[in-house]
Structures are given as C-alpha cells and as structure tokens.
Amino acid sequence: MFSQLLSGNPQYDATQLEFEEPFVQHPESAPGILLRIRPFKENQGVVDGAGLLQSVHDVTTNFRGKNTSDHHSFEVWFDEGKIKFYMHAATEAAADKFRRRVGNNYANSEVFPVEGGAAFPVIEPDEYVAGAWLEMEKLPYYPIRHHNSEEWETDPYGEITSEMLSLDDSKVITQVVFRPAKQSWTGGDRFKHNSVDDLAHALRQGTSVGWLNPRTRPASEKDKQAAKTIEQQRGQQAFHVNIRVVAISADKDEAEARARGVAGMFRKYYNAITEQGLDDTPVWHRKEAKRASQLKQHVTRMADREWTDRRMIMTVDELAGVAHIPNNEIETPNIDWRYTQRGDRVPADAGQYEPPTDSGDANERNADNRGHNGV
C-alpha cells in the first residue's frame, strides 16, 4: 500500500519498448514446442477441454517432494486480422499427447507444430504495448465459475475473443500457463489450520462481527453452500496457473483499450456462491522508462512461456473454462476455424500448415469492420 501511495494506482498506459529492431521469436530458438490449432466448429468446447488438460496432469517431484512438473500454456492470439489458437508444450512427449488428444476429442480439427515464421507475434520498434496479469481475489480453495458449477449461458470466450478484435496490424494475446499441482494442494499448512476442511468448517460456524461488543453471526445459507462447494475441491486434480494479457498496436489508445477490455472480460468467471473472481493488474510504473522495462519483462516472460508463482490454483474444470478450444457457440467473426472435414484426426506427424482455401475464411474475414482495418 505504501508503494502505491508513492507511485499511484496501476493503470493501462501503453508504452513503446524502445526496441532497436523488431522483437521476433523464431520457433527454433523458442523453448518447447508450439502447436497451432485450427478447430472445427462442431465440438464439445469446454467439456473436451477438461479431458485435454487431464491428459497432461503428470506430476513429478524430486527426492524432497518438491513439485518439479513441466509447465505448458494455452494461448489465443489476434494476429494478422485473425483469432488463432495455440498450445505450447514443454516437451516432445507432451506435444505428442496434445496432438493425439486434440485429434481424438476434436474431430476434423487441425493441429500442427509451428516450424516457420514467429513463435510469438512480432513487435515493431514504433508500436505501443500494454499488458496485465490476472490474480484470484481470494484463496484458491474458493473456485471460480466453471461449466460444472454455476453454468454459464454462453461460453465466456465469446466476449473475450470479441474484445480481442482490433485493427489488422495490431496484436492481442491471452496466455494461460499451467503446471500440475500435487494431490495434496488442498491440505494447507498443518500449523496454520488453513486446509479446505478447516475453511469449510469455519464457514459453517458463522462469522464474528463487531469490535467493542463482538458476537457471532450464524452461518447463512450462502455460507453453507460455499462450504459445501469448497469441500468438493478435495481430491480434485488441479494446476498452478498464470494468466497474462498483452496488446500491441501502432495506436497507443488502441493498445490500452484492448488490454483493459480483454483483461476485464475475465471477470465473467466470478462465482457468486464462493465470491471468487479474477482481478486484473496492469503492468505499470509512473516513470515511463521503468514502465517500458517492466512491459519488456512481461513480453519476454510471455514469449518464453515462463511460469511465475502467483498462488493461483485451479481444478481441471476451472482451468478448462479459461483455457479451451471453443466451438460454434461463440459468434466472434474472424476466427481461424477449419471448415472442411478430413476424417477423425490429423496424424501426429502432420507437416507444415497449408494456407486455407475455404471460401468461408473470406466471408468470416469481412464479417466485421474491427479486425479488417476498422476501429
């Protein structure tokens, strides 16, 4: 709080990063394997996303029991006027699992390694950059909204991807980095009594109110419902999570608007029962030079698919909500769908991407002004 008084409240302030030449990450120099996905519209969306995540929940530990598991990422890019989907695998084995699982669960979708071009959207020296990361409002034992809790009427990705649409020469990226959590993640610290069971028990005991004349307010029905929801977290597979957003544009206002708008859309995951949500924190400093340095670090971490411990843990269902391949439930234009059917799956050794020749792409591309030299 004291540092905030000195520096002011964080805000979205797009800044040029003073690159002397374009920031380019080539696939051969990037860590791990980047896979591009062209989804077929007819799929189960978030439901199949949960199965995909379960397939890479491989926890590894060292001799002291420390979690040494690999981390992977799911990414949505608005680049070259299109919404595109990517998965980044830490290893060849994980990449093969992703390819096979996408091929099996998402029939007719296309998945292939990115072997040419760039492994992250290019940033030109004169472009402005704005970014943010997301954090949970409360302890991770309180789940966010997901498809198996408070069912949403529409996939939140519809509004997130719509907010990502920008000028054709602008770029917007959302990145969800995830790392398997140990089965003991709900156990808490035995000396602090902060496990899911302790928390649920406390909610059922009511709330202490008042200072001069303290008394216990009986647990409400909402408290009891929240306690039951929290208890259901025990035994669930989960992941440590980072969520990052960055917007890049030659137009300063556009970069700020896209970063603010996209990060703000993650509020759609607010769970009214547990009062858990996702808060966005802009990458910011009141001094421009330091702000540029922090944004450069933010971009580098995204390009390197770096995992940072922000004490965010999500169950498979929660994570599937923020990291999944969407279906035709979302109506965002300019999505890089695959329109043709080609059997049940694409071979795991599929080669280079061939530019689509479907007439549907052209129709989608012109469906909305923003995303085609519009505003």
- Please name the amino acid found at residue 342: R
Q: For 253-286, how does the pLDDT look when each residue is reduced to its tens digit (9 = 90+)? A: 999 999 999 999 999 999 999 999 999 999 999 9
Specify the 3-state DSSP secondary structure of 230.
Answer: helix
Domain residue extents for the chain: 2-181+237-365, 184-235
Q: Distance between CA atoms of 289 and 270, rounded to whole angstroms?
A: 35
Q: For 140-154, how does the pLDDT look when each residue is reduced to its tens digit (9 = 90+)? A: 999 999 988 766 778
Low-confidence ranges of the chain (pLDDT < 50): 1-5, 343-369, 371-375
Element at 99 (helix H, strand E): helix 92-105
Q: What pLDDT sits at residue 11?
A: 96
pTM: predicted TM-score of the whole model, two decimal places: 0.87
> By C-alpha distance, which of 97, 117, 114, 15 is closest to 56?
97
Tokens of 111: 């998945």
Tokens of 231: 């208890």
Name 49's Cβ contacts closer than 8 Å, sequence gap at least 6: 320, 323, 324, 325
Query: How far is C-alpha 113 from the chain's CA centre?
Result: 20
Q: Distance between CA atoms of 124 and 248, rounded to whole angstroms?
A: 9
Q: Distance between CA atoms of 187 and 88, rounded to whole angstroms?
A: 30
The beta strand positions in the chain, using DSSP E, are: 15-16, 33-38, 72-79, 82-89, 110-113, 128-136, 171-180, 207-209, 215-217, 238-249, 278-282, 313-315
> How many helices (H) does the chain have, and how many strands (E)?
10, 12
Q: What pLDDT sits at residue 363?
A: 41
Q: What pLDDT sits at residue 351?
A: 40
Q: What pLDDT sits at residue 151?
A: 66
Cα three-residue angle 347-119-261, rounded to 5 degrees = 110
Residue at token pair 């137009």: 251
Q: Distance between CA atoms of 366 and 180, rounded to whole angstroms?
A: 40
Cα three-residue angle 10-11-12, rounded to 5 degrees = 140
Q: What pLDDT sits at residue 140?
A: 96
Q: Burial level of 33, CB count in 10 A (0-12/13-18/19+)?
A: buried
Q: What pLDDT sits at residue 342?
A: 65
Parallel, antiparallel or unpaired: strands 313-315 and 238-249:
antiparallel
Q: What pLDDT sits at residue 375?
A: 34
Element at 164 (helix H, strand E): helix 157-164
